[in-house]
Structure 1
Amino acid sequence: MATKKATSMDVAKLAGVSQSSVSRAFGHGANVSAEKHKRIMEAAAKLGYSPNAIARGLITRKTNMIGIVMRNIKNPFYPEVLEKFYQALFEKGYHILFINAENEKINEDEVVKLIEYNVDGVIITDATPTLNAIERFMSNGIAVVLFNRYVDTKQCSAVYCNNYQAGYDIGQLILNKGFTNIAFVSGPMDTSTTRDRLIGLKDSLQTTSVSFREESGHYTYEGGYVAALQLTESNRPDVIVCGNDIMAFGVIDGVKKRGLRIPEDIAIIGFDDVSMASWPSYALTTWKQPIDDMVNETVALICEEIDSEETQTVHMAIDGQLIIRETFR
């Protein structure tokens, strides 16, 4: 037979305090004297008591849970991001409710699940919230911050890499190397991430006489591989810029399948700087996203919006940097 679990009432009796004092002591020690807090913690340890997070949430109207919405977990960039979010939020006293989004747009079931679990906030990464979804979160008192993208609304904050400047700087690098036949392998065009990288690159090249082509790679390895085969059928480009690293890996393998040399025949540039980019088999030149800074700023914003009744919407673009490896010389 299972041993009966100790309750807050048992702890209160043993410590000689009220049950409300026990609740306050486990709510970060608010309004409880140091001496009383010590007695409560000693009693709890003796009884093997741990507070019920759900019950505490009903009392405090805070669950200390943050929803993380992530779609493309096959892209190694996002598992790395998830690990950093877990650590940063854990240090702030929050737990994660992970939602693996089915589609590019957040669907009704995913919105309902986050609302039903009464999360304090939602961080949305590579899925796109509809305006209706944002409004429903906010009407339920749930703070929303977008990560690595933004939407054209003043309703929620966003933290992302300065993708326009990254695209522009990559274009200048290409021109300085004398390349004139340039291709871009993109992700979905309905995201700010893809649009800003492409617009920055085009703006950088527009005053020069260069050939420029685009192929969609859908932000997948397979898409990058197929795009490389299509781009090398005729009028082979000098350099292929990829909207993310996972597509760049596919492009590298597709170019090699054609029997072409990298970077002698075709130079390749990625975006993200995932851990695989430094592997000797790829040694990918890529634009490094400042993940640590982006995660820390996102966590700071979501915590501020949870704790404050009135907050100002912030769109924060953080600069990255180019990492030169073997695919571009």
Structure 2
Amino acid sequence: MGHEKVTSSDVARLAGVSRSAVSRVFTPGASVSSKTAEKVREAAEKLGYRPNVLARSLITGRSRMIGLVVAYLENYFYPEALEKLSNALQAEGYHVLVFMASQTSDNIDQVLDEILDYQVDGIIMASVALSSELTARCQAAGVPVLLFNRSQDDAAVSAVTSDNLEGGRQVAQFLHAAGHRRFGHIAGWEGASTQRDRERGFFEGLRALGINGYERQVGNFHYEQACDAARRMFDRSDHPDALFAANDHMAFAAMDVLRFELGLSVPGDVSVIGFDDVPPAAWPAYDLTTVRQRANLMVERTVATLLKMIERPGETAEQHVLPAPLIVRGSARLPEDWDT
């Protein structure tokens, strides 16, 4: 004989409170006294009661779910950022559904259909761009969307990014001050705003210093492709003596090729700088000078902005550009006057 399902009425009766009090205890953010909450939770545990989240979402119109779209997890930055985002949203009473999209966003329509079918309260697009048509679909469905680590020229879309332009400029200035004059750049996927802005900042920084060109190869934010890019760039005598890779993942690939295939010293023969400051950048094997993406601050700003959009529909979109400091380690030559 099966057990009968325990209801909120059973919990209310045992705890000596109203059904609405039981509901408030299990509703994130609802106001309830600690004494009532303790009584209700004790009764619920004794009876084996679990609140029906899906049923409540039908009543409140809120699923308490956030759709998180990510294109690729090979880059260390994203698993770390996704973990932080999930934890921060869970602390606010939201559950996270993760959806994988292709980096080129050619299947994003299908992914978006799936997300909207789940009646999510909001969507975070990490490493994925959003067309104006898809933006309009989300707006029509009443679902706020925020871009994480991506931006686009659309004032109607909220975004949280690092200052990629300034980061690229800092790299140019640092390498030039260290005496370098032959520069190389391994670019990421060219459809990404992060790639575009980092390279533009690097180019503008060099031009302001009187350097009008640099060698360029594309690594598409991919380890093997970045290895190939480094081989093409450095397997000759007149190679660059300073390299800026558009993210750490590609900087590691380049360093592996330079040191273990081509017999070059880093930074003796070639200075290497990356972007992101993922955990392996600080490992002694790489000791990578890089531009830091402040993941904790990015996550904090993302969650605060998205929750504001959920609570206050129709609010003006917000674009947050956060400082990205240069973290100096041992993979790049230091300027003579550098204060360590």
Bin the TM-score by the shorter chain.
over 0.9
Q: 1:252, CA displacement in angstroms?
A: 0.5
Please state whether the residue corresponding to 1:160 is helix, strand or coil.
strand
Residues 219-253 of structure 1 show CA distances to partners (whole Å, capped at 9, x for unaligned) of: 01112111110001332001110000110111011
> 1:84 is matched with which residue?
84
Taking the aligned partners of 2:216 and 2:39, their CA distance within structure 1 comes to 67
The answer to whether residue 274 in structure 2 is matched with residue 267 in structure 1 is no
1:194-233 equivalences in 2 (<5 Å): 194-207=195-208, 208-209=210-211, 211-233=213-235
Please state whether the residue corresponding to 1:301 is helix, strand or coil.
helix
> 2:303 is matched with which residue?
299
Measured at CA, do residues 28 and 230 of structure 1 come closer, stay the same or move farther in structure 2, by a change above 3 Å?
closer
Q: 1:75, CA displacement in angstroms?
A: 1.1
Measured at CA, do residues 275 and 2 of structure 1 come closer, stay the same or move farther in structure 2, by a change above 3 Å?
farther
1:231-242 equivalences in 2 (<5 Å): 231-234=233-236, 235-242=238-245
Kindly provide the amino acid, as one letter, of the partner of residue 219 in structure 2: G
Taking the aligned partners of 2:36 and 2:92, their CA distance within structure 1 comes to 24
1:130-141 equivalences in 2 (<5 Å): 130-141=131-142
Deviates further, 46-55 or 244-253: 46-55
Deviates further, 156-165 or 229-238: 229-238
Q: 1:5, CA displacement in angstroms?
A: 3.2
**Are the counterparts in 1 of residues 104 and 191 from structure 2 also a CA contact under 8 Å?**
no
User: How many residues matched?
Assistant: 329
Q: 1:283, CA displacement in angstroms?
A: 1.3
Taking the aligned partners of 1:70 and 1:27, their CA distance within structure 2 comes to 29
> 2:169 is matched with which residue?
168
**Are the counterparts in 1 of residues 138 and 144 from structure 2 also a CA contact under 8 Å?**
yes
Q: 1:50, CA displacement in angstroms?
A: 1.6
Taking the aligned partners of 2:13 and 2:85, their CA distance within structure 1 comes to 39
Taking the aligned partners of 1:309 and 1:212, their CA distance within structure 2 comes to 46
Q: Give the structure-2-normalised TM-score.
A: 0.91
> Which of 233, 250, 253 is matched with 1:250 structurally?
253
Gaps of 5+ in 2: 334-340
Taking the aligned partners of 2:234 and 2:321, their CA distance within structure 1 comes to 35
Please state whether the residue corresponding to 2:119 is helix, strand or coil.
coil
Taking the aligned partners of 1:251 and 1:129, their CA distance within structure 2 comes to 31
**Are the counterparts in 2 of residues 269 and 286 from structure 1 also a CA contact under 8 Å?**
yes
> 1:147 is matched with which residue?
148
Taking the aligned partners of 1:52 and 1:39, their CA distance within structure 2 comes to 19
Deviates further, 233-242 or 160-169: 233-242
1:31-180 equivalences in 2 (<5 Å): 39-105=39-105, 107-180=108-181
Taking the aligned partners of 1:37 and 1:327, their CA distance within structure 2 comes to 55
**Are the counterparts in 1 of residues 155 and 317 from structure 2 also a CA contact under 8 Å?**
yes
Q: 1:24, CA displacement in angstroms?
A: 3.6
**Are the counterparts in 2 of residues 161 and 318 from structure 1 also a CA contact under 8 Å?**
yes
Taking the aligned partners of 1:112 and 1:215, their CA distance within structure 2 comes to 36
The answer to whether residue 288 in structure 2 is matched with residue 287 in structure 1 is no
Deviates further, 102-111 or 194-203: 102-111
Residues 22-54 of structure 1 show CA distances to partners (whole Å, capped at 9, x for unaligned) of: 334422474767766555444323212121111
User: Over aligned residue pairs, what C-alpha RMSD do you find?
Assistant: 1.9
Taking the aligned partners of 2:33 and 2:235, their CA distance within structure 1 comes to 75
> 2:187 is matched with which residue?
186
> Which of 303, 310, 314 is matched with 2:318 structurally?
314
Taking the aligned partners of 2:110 and 2:136, their CA distance within structure 1 comes to 15
Measured at CA, do residues 188 and 3 of structure 1 come closer, stay the same or move farther in structure 2, by a change above 3 Å?
same
- Over the matched positions of the two proteins, sequence identity in percent amounts to 37
> 1:8 is matched with which residue?
8
Gaps of 5+ in 1: none
